[in-house]
Amino acid sequence: MIKLIFSRLLQGVFVLLIISFLIFALMARAGGDAVSALDTLRSSEETRKSLRGLDGLDRPLMERYWNWVAEAARGDLGRSLTLHIPVWNILRLPLLRTGLLAAVALLIAWLISLTLGIAAARRAGSWVDRLCSVIVLLAASTPRLVMALLALAFIASTPLFNVFGPTSDSATEVWSLRVIPPAIVLSIPLVALFLAQTRAVIRDALDEEFVRAARAKGAPEWIVLLRHALRPALNPLITVFGFSLGEVMSGSVIVETVMGWRGLGQLGVEAVGTRDIPLLLGVALAASAAVMAGNLLADVLQRLNNPRLR
């Protein structure tokens, strides 16, 4: 277990290094930086030169990258080129908000999927089963962008707007009921993924001999379902959970931007507009690190659940 965690952490650091280097290299190749985004201000060549000198943008690529890595290792991701405060200070709250959003969305998705999936698996061909098929198809076909736009318009036309509307620009709070609508929108495509899996694995598990044995010895139905059917089915479900995390992060970019939840995704979109590469790099790395941490958690859970894997 310790070995697994250690090797995964090492791999994570390696991946983060590759990502950051690629973005650095691309930036140098394209010659695009925050100073060239200032073109509209008709700044003189000298002003731009001195601005570049101020942010160290005039040094060679490898030197800049090395400096950045050395500082990042000490927890300093550099300064934002537009806001001129440390990137980490800008990232902290949005990272928490996105974490909250993702957690609530995953919770909703799993609650729905487990309840409906188990009910559908128990009676193949029943109305619950057919309802699940319909839900899977519809939930998987409706894009998040469309759902987010509809949800926003719907909330705006009801008195719920004050409770559930977008967060204000200056809001520093993280814990807020406003997380619920974006979380629901974020969770719907996940339901399609999880529900189909849950139904399939629980159905397989219910066919097993040990489930029949448990029923035969007279165990109550809920014990049979939770202890005998769900337990062995958990591992594939945890795998799906791990793989869904990247999608959750990608999806939250859209949901946050449309519905005004000021998380990492929205911050990233804003940073693209101002071409604030250090900030964007921070966003990309934070998002990747968060997803990889989630994956590691999934692996650990899997090993805890299944002693054979340890």
The site for another protein (CB under 8 A) is made up of 11, 15, 19, 22-23, 26-27, 29-30, 32, 37, 137, 140-146, 149-150, 152-157, 242-243, 245-246, 249-251, 253-254, 257-258, 264-265, 268-269, 271-273, 275-277, 280-281, 283-284, 287-288, 291-292, 295
Least distance (Å) between residue 93 CB and another protein: 17
Least distance (Å) between residue 119 CB and another protein: 22
Phi and psi at residue 138, to the nearest 5°? -65, -45
Q: Are 132 and 195 in contact (CB under 8 A)?
A: yes
Least distance (Å) between residue 293 CB and another protein: 10
Give the position of tokens 């869904």. 244
Least distance (Å) between residue 30 CB and another protein: 5
Residue 177, class by beta-carbon neighbours within 10 Å (0-12 exposed, 13-18 middle, 19+ buried)? Answer: exposed
* Residue (117 or 260) nearer to another protein, CB: 260
Which tokens in the block code for residue 74?
């000490």
Rounded distance between C-alpha atoms, residue 235 and residue 238, angstroms: 5
* Residue (179 or 290) nearer to another protein, CB: 290
- Give exposure, 255-277, as e/b (b: 16+ Cβ within 10 Å): bbbbbbbbbbbbbbebbeebbbb
* Residue (235 or 295) nearer to another protein, CB: 295
CB-based contacts of 221, cutoff 8 Å, min separation 6: none
Phi and psi at residue 35, to the nearest 5°? -70, -40
Rg (the chain; Cα; Å): 24
- Closest Cα to residue 128, out of 195, 185, 190? 195
* Residue (43 or 295) nearer to another protein, CB: 295
* Residue (118 or 277) nearer to another protein, CB: 277
* Residue (114 or 152) nearer to another protein, CB: 152
* Residue (39 or 46) nearer to another protein, CB: 39
Least distance (Å) between residue 287 CB and another protein: 4
DSSP 207-274: TSHHHHHHHHTT--HHHIIIIIIIHHHHHHHHHHHHHHHHHHHHHHHHHHHHHT--SHHHHHHHHHHH
Least distance (Å) between residue 80 CB and another protein: 13
Query: First and final CA of the chain: distance in angstroms?
Result: 7
| DSSP 8-state assignment for residue 166 | P
Least distance (Å) between residue 132 CB and another protein: 14
* Residue (215 or 303) nearer to another protein, CB: 303
Least distance (Å) between residue 247 CB and another protein: 8
